[in-house]
Amino acid sequence: LKAAMKTRVVILGATGSVGKSVASVIAEHRELFQVEAVVGGSDPVSLAAMACHLGAGFAAIADASQADALRCALVDVGYAIDSGAGSSAINEAVDRDCDLVVAAIAGVAGLRPTYRAIRRGRKIALANKETLVSAGAVFMREAAAQGVEILPLDSEHNALWQALAGAPGDDVESMVLTASGGPFLNWSAQAIAAAIPEQALKHPNYSMGAKISIDSATMMNKGLEVIEAHYLFGVDHTRLKVLVHPQQIVHGLVNFCDGSVVAGLAAPDMRIPAAHCLGVGCKADQRDESVRGSRLRTTLPRLDLATIGRLDFIHPDTGRFPALALALEALAEGGSMPTVLNAANEVAVSAFLRRHIGFNEIASLVRAACEAFAKAANMAPESIDHAMEIDSLSREWMHKRLTLADFEAT
Ligand code: NAD
Ligand code: MG
């Protein structure tokens, strides 16, 4: 394909776990995609390497103090493209002419850049679930206003989206998101209470960023994903269910009103939902022989069910994993509760990773934050600024609570 006909992509969070999955699919289909820009957080050497690998036109790093470091890193890999640092550089990346923006920044840090991409009318492949948890209504409203399609890149949502296959909402009785159960699925409550970061970071099936790995261990991740599904698919919280499925072969199931069930299956490999999003996100005029329908041809792992042999499903245990129940409560409560929950959780996860708090304190502190904001939380964020304001208040509350605890301990 001529350069002008390629699908132009901007990758937010290009150096992360999802970013790398997306990059590897793009690298297999260079004839279809042109990477306009890559954005990373604070690792200039990896970002420069990724920019070079993908032939990106521009690189931006969030950490404003790393402008020189990024420039030097690009020179070192022999790929001296334009680059920048800080939020203005991220905006510049988002503003590049492109057809698809991959939103794969971790946490609420992805909120403004992803929203900006929607405002620019870009199609979004969305992995960054925290954006929808924090400001889901604002996001979906703006996407609808701009006619922007949001392609779910999170594996469960991608499976649900494929299982839905455009069915009308009225036909859907309920949706099930599966969960691996995380590294502590079969641990006793006592053992979980004593868990340290190294143990919590060991996900059974995926290698992921630190934040989502801890969220998987607490099962907060599945709670965040239920909230994400609520906004993505417009399904009421009473119709969203969670099943623990340790093999992670079935990622999501749609129960239809006639008793039919359609499930999305795939090997547990993030490159598969990435390939699906990239295929659907491809410009229609590119669908030559390397693209079948809207799907890319890939050599990614195929599912061999006979080898897997059995698939297990069990109800989640919210006794040992209270974070899941907390997130579901926040969704049921509505208003700004999911925003408060998400921010409190980000602070708690980072405190756990720095060994300031124990594993169970993640959920207990998030619960305390939600309770503290219960009265004030009846209004859902009306704008991104409003969501960020609530996010900051929740973080401040958590920081105070954490320093207070330090103070009491000494
Ligand atoms: P990660 O920590 O591996 O990567 C995060 C990326 O964001 C990195 O490129 C990092 O440099 C960048 N980043 C961090 N802070 C930034 C900032 N302030 N501004 C710009 N960029 C910044 O995380 P991940 O595991 O790839 O997850 C990314 C998102 O995708 C999360 O929201 C996660 O919940 C979601 N997700 C991840 C997986 C997975 O398998 N890893 C699966 C589904 C959804
Ligand atoms: Mg997921």
- Tens of pLDDT along 220-230? 999 999 999 99
Nearest-atom number in ligand 1 for the CA of 90 is 20
Q: Residue 12 Cα, ligand 1 centroid: separation in angstroms?
A: 9
Nearest 10 degrees: CA dihedral of 121, 126, 130, 136? 50
pLDDT at site 294: 84
Q: What percent of the chain shows pLDDT beyond 90?
A: 92
Measured CA angle at 161 (ends 158, 166), to 5 deg: 160
**CB proximity list for 20: less than 8 A, separation 6 or greater:** 14, 50
pLDDT at site 48: 98
Tens digit of each residue's pLDDT (9 = 90 or more) over 364-383: 999 999 999 998 888 999 99
Q: Residue 196 Cα, ligand 2 centroid: separation in angstroms?
A: 23
Q: How far apart are CA 5 and CA 286, in angstroms?
A: 7
Tens digit of each residue's pLDDT (9 = 90 or more) over 183-222: 999 999 999 999 999 999 998 888 999 999 999 999 999 9
Give the pLDDT band of residue 4 (cuts 50, 70, 90): low
Mean pLDDT of 229-236: 97
Helix axes 337-353, 220-233, angle to 10 degrees: 150
pTM of the complete model beyond 0.90: yes
Give the pLDDT band of residue 286 (cuts 50, 70, 90): low
pLDDT at site 293: 63
pLDDT at 344 over 70: yes
Asked whether 278 lines ligand 1 (CB < 6 A), one says no
pLDDT at 290 over 60: no
- Whether complex ipTM tops 0.90: yes
Asked whether 44 lines ligand 1 (CB < 6 A), one says no
Span(s) in the chain for CATH 1.10.1740.10: 174-260+316-409
pLDDT at 28 over 90: yes
How far is it between the farthest Cα atoms of the chain? 67
Span(s) in the chain for CATH 3.40.50.720: 3-153+269-302
pLDDT at 287 over 60: no
Q: Could you tell me the two tokens for 285?
A: 């005029």
CATH 1.20.1260.10 for domain 174-260+316-409, yes or no, is no
Query: Could you name the CATH architecture of 3-153+269-302?
Result: 3-Layer(aba) Sandwich (3.40)
pLDDT at site 377: 81
pLDDT at 17 over 60: yes
Measured CA angle at 402 (ends 399, 403), to 5 deg: 85
Hey, whose CA ends up nearest to atom 27 of ligand 1? 106
Asked whether 129 lines ligand 1 (CB < 6 A), one says yes
Q: How far apart are CA 197 and CA 219, in angstroms?
A: 15
Q: Cα 183 vs. chain centroid, distance in angstroms?
A: 19
pLDDT at site 359: 98
Query: What spatial distance separates the first Cα and last Cα of the chain, rounded to whole Å?
Result: 66
Nearest in space to 124 (alpha carbons), one of 90, 146, 153, 151: 151
pLDDT at 289 over 80: no
Strands (E) located in 245-386: 250-256, 261-265, 291-292, 295-296
Q: How far apart are CA 392 and CA 185, in angstroms?
A: 32
- Of the ligands numbered here, which is closest to the C-alpha atom of 66? 1
What integer best gives the mean pLDDT of the chain?
Answer: 95
Give the pLDDT band of residue 16 (cuts 50, 70, 90): very high
Give the pLDDT band of residue 150 (cuts 50, 70, 90): very high
Q: How far apart are CA 158 and CA 278, in angstroms?
A: 12
380-387 own/partner pairs: CB under 8 Å, 24+ apart: 380/137, 380/334, 380/335, 380/336, 381/134, 381/135, 381/137, 381/138, 381/336, 381/339, 382/138, 383/138, 384/111, 384/112, 384/115, 384/135, 384/138, 386/138, 387/111, 387/134, 387/135, 387/138, 387/336, 387/339
pLDDT at 291 over 70: no
Q: Count Cβ atoms below 10 Å from residue 297 Cβ, excluding itself.
A: 13
Give the pLDDT band of residue 404 (cuts 50, 70, 90): confident
pLDDT at site 304: 96
The per-residue DSSP string of 317-353 comes to: -TTT-HHHHHHHHHHHH-TTHHHHHHHHHHHHHHHHH
Strands (E) located in 238-300: 240-244, 250-256, 261-265, 291-292, 295-296
Tens digit of each residue's pLDDT (9 = 90 or more) over 45-84: 999 999 999 999 999 999 999 999 999 999 999 999 999 9
